[in-house]
Amino acid sequence: MSKNDTAENLRKELNTMADTLEEVLSSSDKPKAELQKMRSKAENILKSTRDQLSETGEKMVDKTKELKDKADTYVHDNPWTGVAIGAAAGLVLGVLLSRR
């Protein structure tokens, strides 16, 4: 599943949850059994969304660690290139901040 698919699924789940919660909050005239059914549906959607967010967060942490390790290895293998990249980034930031 791609990042776009995951984001789209989360967006759909959140919209469904919001719609269900709106329905629960605006339907005081419905029978208690139907309100309980809607509440159960909202709880299930909330649990599913939390699980997806947790899974997505864990994937982001893993990917960040992987990128950090790759950057660390690259800088150790090519120290002068790392110094040049750092100097260039510092120069660009210095120019951008001095224009304020």
Q: pLDDT tens digit string along 18-33?
A: 787 777 777 667 777 8
Q: What is the mean pLDDT of residues 75-100?
A: 90
Q: With 90 as the cut, is the pLDDT of residue 66 above it?
A: yes
| Rounded Cα gap, residues 42 and 100, in angstroms | 49
Q: What is the mean pLDDT of residues 78-98?
A: 92
Note the pLDDT of residue 18: 79
Q: What is the pTM of this model?
A: 0.50
What does the domain layout of the chain look like in residue ranges?
Answer: 31-98
Q: With 90 as the cut, is the pLDDT of residue 75 above it?
A: no
**Which long-range contacts does 5-10 make (Cβ < 8 Å, 24+ apart)?**
6/52, 6/56, 9/52, 10/49, 10/52, 10/53, 10/56
